[in-house]
Amino acid sequence: MTPNFGLDKIKDMPAIVDWKGKSLRRSLLALLLFTVILAILVVDFIPDRLTGLQVGKPSPKTVKATRDIEFVDFERTGALRNEASSHVEPVYNRDWSVEPQVIDSVHKFFGLVRQVRSNEVLTAEAKQDLLVKEVDSSFDKSVFKTVLHMPDTELNSTEALVVSNINRVYSDKITAENIGEKRIDFAEMAQSLTKNPSKNALIAEVGSFYFKPNYFYDAQGTDKLKKEAASGISPVLVNKQKGETIVREGEIVSSLQVKILRELGLLKRGIDLARIGGLALFALVSFIAFGLYLFNYQPKIHRSNRLIGVLSLIFISTIVIAKFVGPYYSYFLIPIGAAAMLTALLFNIETAIIMVLSLSLYSGLIGGQNYQYTLYGVLTGLFAIYAIYNIRHRTDLAIAGAWVTLATTILAITTTLLSGAGLVEIMKNLGWGLLGGISMAVLTIGTLPFLEKVFGITTDIKLVELSYANQPLLRELMMKAPGTYNHSIMAGNLAENAAEEIGANPLLARVGAYYHDIGKIKRPLFFVENQIGCENPHDHTNPSLSCLIITSHVKEGIDLGKKYHLPPEILDIINEHHGTSIVAFFYHKAKESVVKETINEENYRYSGQRPKSKEAALVMLADSVEAAARTIAKPTPGRIEQLIKRIVQSKLDDGQLNESNLTLNDIEKIIRSFTQLLTSLYHTRVEYPTVPVPQARSFTAHGDSNK
C-alpha cells in the first residue's frame, strides 16, 4: 500500500483565509511569519550593483565624472569631529565649602585629643583606645601615642602646622582622581617640617586623613565643550568637476571613490529577482510543509495560535541570530541546539526534530549555501534532543547543557577538519564551538521559565515539580483532608498506568489526579473518605444543600488552583473530572423525601465541563473507580472488573466521555489497566487454617526452659 503522508486530509483543511474570527487571526499570523522569514532571507539580495567595481579590488576600467558635484563626506567629517571632541579637557567645578570643612575636622580632632588628655581617671592605654574608638581605627596607633604624650605647646604648634599646610595644599586642584597623589605629596612635605620625626608623622597622618576633593567633575560642562569642539569642525566637502577622473583602470578602488560614483549615479541599484524568487519559493514550500505536519500530526499545536506563536518565536529568533551573528562571528554560534531543547521541552520530541531539520536547512542557506553548517545544525540539534530526553528536573538542564557543549565543540572541530582547514582555523572554531554550546545551555535554562510563564505552557519539568509531596497545596490537602489525599494518590496511579496504555500523557494524568479534589480542603468532613470516627453531617442536611456542598468542590478547587498558579491543563482536569455527572445518592434521596413535588434532575448535576482530553477522562474514571472499589466487601478479580465496566458504561451512557477523544479500543485498555492494578491492591488474601499457639515459656540466662 502506497503511503499518502496524510495528504488525504488536505480536503478537510480549513480555507487558507477565513474572514471570520480565529481562523482570520491564524491566517494573518501565517502571512506575517512568512513575510518576516522571507525578509530575513532576502535582505542581502537587494544590494548596490557596482558596474564591475568592488572596494579593495582593481577597477576594470577608468571612470570619469559625468557632471560637477559637491557633497559632504559624512564619514570623514564624523571622524574629525570625534577626534576634536577627544582632545577636550574635562571640566571641574570647585566646591569652596570643602576646605573649611576639612580644617574644622582637624580642629575637632585636636579638641578631642585635649579632652581625652585632661581625663585624669583613664590610663594612658585607655586614653589611646578611646581615641581609636572615637576617631577611626585605621589611624596609626603610634600617632595617638605621640599626641597624648607631647606637651601642650607642642600640641598647639602641631595643630597650627596641620592647618597651615592644608591651606597650602588646597591652593591646588584636588579631585577624586588625584587625591591619592596629593596625600602622598602632603606626607612627604610633612617629613621636613620639624626636626621631630614623631611630630612630622603626626602631621602627615592627620592631614592626609582629613583630605577631601575640592574639585568635582562637571559632566554637562565637559559634554558642552566637546559639542562645541565638534561643531567647530566644518563639514568635509568632496568636489569633482565634469570630466575629472574618479578611478583609473587597474587602480585599487577605495570607499571614497565608491561614494563619489554613487553620488554621480554611476552605481546602479539592482535587485536579483531570480535569487529572491528562489528564496521565496523555498520559504513558501518549507512553510507549507511545516504547516501540513502540524495539521496532520500535531493538531493540538495547529489549533492554538498561542502555541504556534511560541514555535514561531523560537524559529524566527534562531534565524535572526543565524543571519546577524553567523556571518560576522561564527556559524557555530547559531543556537539550533537551544531551539531543539526548548521545542522538545515545551512541545514534544517529534516537533523538535522537524524544527531542527528546518532550521538546519535555513542555516546552510544563510551561510552562503554552505551545507557544512546544515550538517552541524542537524547533528547538534539531534544530540540536544537526546540530551534532554526524559528530563524531569530543572537541575538536569545544566547537565544536559554540559553534554551539548561537549558535542558542539567536537562537531565544530570535525566539520572544520572535513573542510581541510589548518591548525589556526581548527583552534579558532574549537573556541567558537565551545562558546556556542555554552550559549545554547544558557539560552535554554534562561528562556524556558519565561516561555512557560508568558505562554502558559506546562512542561513535564513543571508537572514533576507539582507532583512533589512537599508542594504547599498537596501538603495542605494531606493535613486537612487525609482521606481525599490518599484517594487522589491512588487515582493518580490508576490514571498514570492507563495513560501509558493508551498513549496519553501519563505524567499529566497522574498530577491532574493529585490535584483534582483540592476543592475538598474547604469542607473536608462533608466527604465520606474523611469521615473517620465522626458523624456524617449529611445525615442532618437537606439533600439539595448536600448536593450543592458536594458539587461546589469543583469550583472551589478551580479557585484554589488559580490562587496557587496551577497550570491551565491541571485546572481543566479539576473542572472536568466530574463533567456534568449526576450526584445520584442525593438525587434519589431527594426523590424519596418529596412525594408531590417534581425533582429537577439538572439541579443535582455538576456544572463543570465534560472532559475535553484523554487525561481529564482518565482522571474522571479513576476517581469514580477508586472510590467505588473501596466498597467491595470481598474483592475478587471478577467483581473488580464488573464494577469497573459498570462505572465506565454509566459514564458512556451519560455522554460524559463524548468529547474526550477516547476510542473504544482505549476504553478496553483502560478497563484492563484499572482491573490489573486494583486486583493487585484489593484482592482477597487466602485464609490459612488456625494453628494452635504454644504456651509461652520463660527461659533462663543459659537458654534452658524452666519446667
Q: State mean pLDDT over 67-92.
A: 83
Burial 653-670 (b: 16+ CB within 10 A, else e): eeebbebbebeeebbebb
Whether 171 shows a pLDDT value over 90: the answer reads no
CA dist., res. 310 & res. 344, Å (int): 12
CA dist., res. 376 & res. 423, Å (int): 19
Share of the chain above pLDDT 70, in %: 85
Q: Is residue 3 domain-resident? A: no
Whether 525 shows a pLDDT value over 90: the answer reads no
> How high is the pLDDT of residue 380?
92
Whether 44 shows a pLDDT value over 60: the answer reads no
| DSSP secondary structure string for all residues of 331-371 | GGG--HHHHHHHHHHHT-HHHHHHHHHHHHHHHHHHTTS-H
CA dist., res. 425 & res. 588, Å (int): 83
> How high is the pLDDT of residue 681?
83
Burial class (CB in 10 A: 0-12, 13-18, 19+), 87: exposed
Q: Is residue 690 domain-resident? A: no
Whether 277 shows a pLDDT value over 90: the answer reads no
> How high is the pLDDT of residue 684?
55
Confidence of residue 392 (pLDDT cuts 50, 70, 90): confident
Grid look-up 596641620 returns: 162
Interval 453-474: pLDDT, tens: 888 888 888 898 899 989 999 9
414 and 430 in contact (C-beta within 8 Å)?
no
> How high is the pLDDT of residue 384?
92
Q: Is residue 702 domain-resident? A: no
Enumerate residues 6+ apart whose C-beta is below 8 A from 76: 236, 256
Amino acid at 557: G
Closest C-alpha to 612, from 646, 574, 647: 574
Q: Is residue 87 domain-resident? A: no
Q: Which of 422, 457, 492 is the last residue of a domain?
A: 457
612 and 572 in contact (C-beta within 8 Å)?
yes
Q: Which of 425, 457, 489 is the last residue of a domain?
A: 457
Predicted TM-score (pTM) of this structure: 0.57
CA dist., res. 383 & res. 392, Å (int): 18
| Choice among 34-43, 181-190, 306-315 with the minimum mean pLDDT | 34-43
Specify whether 453 is located in the same domain as 466: no
Interval 582-618: pLDDT, tens: 887 777 777 777 655 677 777 888 888 999 999 999 9
Confidence of residue 703 (pLDDT cuts 50, 70, 90): very low
Interval 110-167: pLDDT, tens: 888 888 887 877 787 787 778 777 777 666 667 777 777 788 888 888 888 888 888 8
Q: Is residue 5 domain-resident? A: no
What average pLDDT does the chain have? 81
Q: State mean pLDDT over 197-202.
A: 79
Q: Is residue 565 domain-resident? A: yes
> How high is the pLDDT of residue 26?
61
506 and 499 in contact (C-beta within 8 Å)?
yes
> How high is the pLDDT of residue 47?
43
Q: Is residue 80 domain-resident? A: no
Q: State mean pLDDT over 18-30.
A: 56
> How high is the pLDDT of residue 19?
36
Burial class (CB in 10 A: 0-12, 13-18, 19+), 243: exposed
Q: State mean pLDDT over 295-324.
A: 86
Domain residues for 419? 289-457
> How high is the pLDDT of residue 700?
36
φ/ψ (deg, to 5) at 26: -65, -40
Specify whether 260 is located in the same domain as 327: no
292 and 284 in contact (C-beta within 8 Å)?
no
Q: Which of 457, 491, 518 is the last residue of a domain?
A: 457
Q: Is residue 6 domain-resident? A: no
Amino acid at 237: L
Specify whether 389 is located in the same domain as 505: no
Specify whether 468 is located in the same domain as 446: no
138: its cell numbers: 585605621
Specify whether 435 is located in the same domain as 349: yes
- Helix residue ranges, H only, 43-122: 74-86, 98-117
Specify whether 437 is located in the same domain as 500: no
Q: State mean pLDDT over 386-411.
A: 87
Closest C-alpha to 513, from 445, 565, 574: 574
Interval 201-237: pLDDT, tens: 878 777 777 888 888 888 888 898 888 888 888 888 8
Specify whether 449 is located in the same domain as 467: no
Specify whether 536 is located in the same domain as 571: yes
Specify whether 626 is located in the same domain as 527: yes
Amino acid at 163: V
Amino acid at 660: S
| Choice among 72-76, 100-104, 687-691 with the minimum mean pLDDT | 687-691
Specify whether 444 is located in the same domain as 483: no
CA dihedral 312, 316, 318, 319 (to 10 degrees): 140
Interval 639-691: pLDDT, tens: 899 999 999 999 999 899 999 989 999 999 999 999 999 998 876 555 555 55
Three-point CA angle 430, 436, 437, nearest 5°: 95
CA dist., res. 294 & res. 96, Å (int): 74
**Residues β-bridged to residue 215:** 94
Specify whether 309 is located in the same domain as 446: yes
Confidence of residue 1 (pLDDT cuts 50, 70, 90): very low
Q: State mean pLDDT over 491-504.
A: 94
Specify whether 262 is located in the same domain as 210: no
| Choice among 31-35, 516-520, 636-640 with the minimum mean pLDDT | 31-35
CA dist., res. 211 & res. 182, Å (int): 9
519 versus 29: the higher-pLDDT residue is 519
- Helix residue ranges, H only, 97-140: 98-117, 124-134
- The H-or-E segment that residue 451 falls in is helix 423-455
> How high is the pLDDT of residue 596?
53
Confidence of residue 25 (pLDDT cuts 50, 70, 90): low
Count the domains in the chain. Answer: 4
